[in-house]
Amino acid sequence: MSLPISWFFVLAIGLFFLGTIGALTRRNGITIFLSIELMLNSVNLILVAYSRLLGDLSGQVIVFFAFAVAAAEAAVGLAIFVTIYRHHRTIDLNRINFLRW
Amino acid sequence: MIEIIVFAIFAVLALVSALVVITHPDPVKSTMSLVLTFFSVAVLYVLLHAPFIATLQVLVYTGAILVLFLFVLMLLNISRETHREDKATAQTWLTLLGAGFFFGLLALYFYRSTSGLEPVGDLGGIHELSVLLFSRYLITFEMIGVLLLAAVVGASYLTSRLEEKNS
């Protein structure tokens, strides 16, 4: 009995679910960032599973690009957090409301 | 058979450590738990015959990005400051309900549409991948390089103290 590919999709949806819950309910900026990374990774898992299912390597190339985009996003996002922390001494998103009127 | 056992172990490990990521109050421990999640997903990539992507996952994600997260956490020392426990409010339960319904349907859809399908042929390794990368996706590859350069410039401008020096 070989491993069914469809299990990978269910697992990836589960990881995306957990990432969504984390990004919507937590109030700590870094934890929200980690949840977004989790969602990115679950989509990568779906792409690799489809690449295996269809016998097409394009999915893996797109995952390669997604890694680069995730690295750029993490670098800029963490720089923004460092700047916000320098001005406000917190990254609690309940207290960072200077963009609201 | 051995593949199913390995999949079961690392799928459960990934889900449990992802749950720890989103529930632990300490951001440092969340990040360490995310390292475990990414390692488990790397094992799943190997099961899907994608060893190059698995290597990149370990090297780039856990080796570079998460170390960057840990570096910023240690630098700012926010782990102690934001150690307050997040209260589960009505918003939390409504989010769980809505997202659970939506992703339950999505998982059902994915499972129904792919169950019983068998993989087509052999994929080929890093050689075929790099040929594809430098022929069909060459423009995208170059643009990713430009994007990374822009990210480096933007991040170093944001964290520099130019404004304070000028004023």
| Residue pLDDT, tens place only, A48-94 | 999 988 888 899 999 999 999 999 999 999 998 888 888 887 777 77
Average pLDDT score, chain B = 86
**Distance from C-alpha of B102 to C-alpha of B167, rounded to nearest angstrom:** 51
B160 touches chain A (CB under 8 A): no
For residues B152 and A74, the answer to whether their CB atoms sit within 8 Å is no
How high is the ipTM of this complex?
Answer: 0.90
Q: Which residues contact B104 (CB under 8 A, 6 or more apart)?
A: none
Which pTM does this prediction carry? 0.90
pLDDT of residue B163: 63
Map tokens 């690295």 to a residue.
A71
Q: In this structure, is the dihedral angle defined by the CA atoms of residues B27, A37, A12 and B104, taken in order, positive or negative?
A: positive
Q: How confident is the model at residue B114 (pLDDT cuts 50, 70, 90)?
A: confident
Q: Do A90 and B147 touch (CB under 8 A)?
A: no
| Out of A24, A25, A55, closest to residue B121 by CB | A55
Q: How close A99 gets to chain B, by Cα (Å)?
A: 18
Chain B residues in contact with A26 by the CB 8 A cut-off are 22, 86
